[in-house]
Amino acid sequence: MRPSFHPRLVNGPFEDPGLFIPFLYEKRALLFDLGDIHNLSTRDILKISHVFVTHTHVDHFIGFDRLIRLLLGREKTLNLYGPEGFIKNVEGKLSGYAWNLVANYQNRFVINVSEVDKNTITTKQYRCKDGFISKPNRSSKAFYKILLQEPSFTVSAIILDHRIPSLGVKITERFHVNINRESVLSMGLEIGPWLNAFKLALFNNQDPESLFKIHGGPENNVLADYKLGELAERIAIISPGQKMAYIVDSVYREPSINEVIRFVSGVDHLYVEAAFLDEHRDIAQEKYHLTARQAGTIAARARVKQFTLFHFSPRYTGQGHLLEAEAKKAYDAAISSADNEAHLYFK
Ligand SMILES: [Zn+2]
Ligand SMILES: [Zn+2]
């Protein structure tokens, strides 16, 4: 299966945290956390439509300036999400610059900023044309873990305990549509943007009996039309969707950690911080961070298929392998003890 999302960490594990998630066949991407983003090309940054900032410690938010700088003067809507207090933090950033020249810009650049607390998601809009002034209008709705819902995927969040609120974030694809390229070509059709429209029709639950028009060529003419259901049967392979979670900056403490484990349960790929070694677990606890051992335990208890560690404390520079080894050991131990328990139970 060719995955729809191709996540990659923006930086090395000792540098600022951030996960860049480009979409297959689309000039679009999501970003989890907004630390230093100089490792992303301008081309990649321009693809970003939504950024989910876990919290506004400087290593998670310093990339804001670069992002805004590159988007100025472009036709773009940027959506930012963060925890309680995020709107004030964004306004603080925006009010740090003089914007007297932007009123002349022809393009419409708009920033929607949403912050969540336990029960509510509140959104405000800032327009480049208005010098990003803060207007009183804001909209609020109930927050049930969902930050963003689109036909093909959902981004959800939980609030982690980092002495301040920090967001744990997850992306869940509804189902996955894989295109059988040979079938497309054998039907005399080309591989092109119409495949995205075709997938969208499936995600929008369009009537399988409805006629789907295939556009293409230099003039984007209608090249052919098929019943949607019939076309799906010939060229689409439907499978379970991808699930990825991103957990940074959280203390490991019962019972809140159980909620984290439930949230990331069964994901294909977990990106999880491992700031400290177990020998420094007191420091981790004091600073509300995870140790590598705790990260491995979470991954095992949640039965994730794969996990990647990052956000290492600089005190371990050159010793990343120790963090990796500790997490793997904890993962293997927790998996085998859970398996033993299951054996006893089913005897
Ligand atoms: Zn932090
Ligand atoms: Zn951090």
Instruction: Please write the tens of the pLDDT for every residue from 72-104.
Output: 989 999 999 999 999 999 999 999 999 988 877
pLDDT at 338: 78
Tell me, in angstroms, the distance from the centre of ligand 2 to residue 207's CA.
47
Burial 98-131 (b: 16+ CB within 10 A, else e): eeeebeeeeeebbbebbbbeeeebbbbbbebeeb
Tell me, in angstroms, the distance from the centre of ligand 1 to residue 252's CA.
14
pLDDT at 337: 83
Ligand nearest to the CA of 35: 2
Q: Are the C-beta atoms of 323 and 277 separated by less than 8 Å? A: yes
Ligand nearest to the CA of 33: 2
pLDDT at 347: 47
CB 182: neighbour CB atoms within 10 A?
Answer: 9
Tell me, in angstroms, the distance from the centre of ligand 1 to residue 37's CA.
17
Tell me, in angstroms, the distance from the centre of ligand 2 to residue 57's CA.
6
> What is the CB-side half-sphere exposure of residue 91 using CA atoms within 13 A?
13
Cα–Cα distance, 23 to 21 (Å, whole number): 7
CB 138: neighbour CB atoms within 10 A?
Answer: 14
Tell me, in angstroms, the distance from the centre of ligand 2 to residue 47's CA.
25
Ligand nearest to the CA of 160: 1
Cα–Cα distance, 57 to 59 (Å, whole number): 6
- DSSP one-letter string for 247-270: E-S----TTHHHHHHHHHTT-SEE
Cis upstream peptide for 255 (omega within 30°)? yes
pLDDT at 343: 64
Question: In order of start, what are the domains of the chain with their CATH numbers?
Answer: 8-173 (3.60.15.10), 176-239 (no CATH), 250-346 (3.60.15.10)
Q: Are the C-beta atoms of 35 and 329 separated by less than 8 Å? A: no
Ligand nearest to the CA of 162: 1
- DSSP one-letter string for 100-150: TTGGG-SS-EEEEEEEE-SSEEEEEEEEGGGTT---S--EEEE-SSEEEE-
Cα–Cα distance, 234 to 208 (Å, whole number): 13
Report if pTM > 0.85. yes
Torsion of CA 184, 190, 196, 202, to 10 degrees: -30
Query: Which regions in the chain score pLDDT beneath 70?
Result: 1, 342-347
Ligand nearest to the CA of 167: 1
Question: Residues lining ligand 2 (ion), CB within 5 A?
Answer: 249
Chain centre to alpha carbon of residue 332? 27
Tell me, in angstroms, the distance from the centre of ligand 2 to residue 280's CA.
17
The residue whose two tokens read 């191709």 is 6
Alpha helices in 130-280 (DSSP H): 181-186, 194-203, 228-235, 256-264
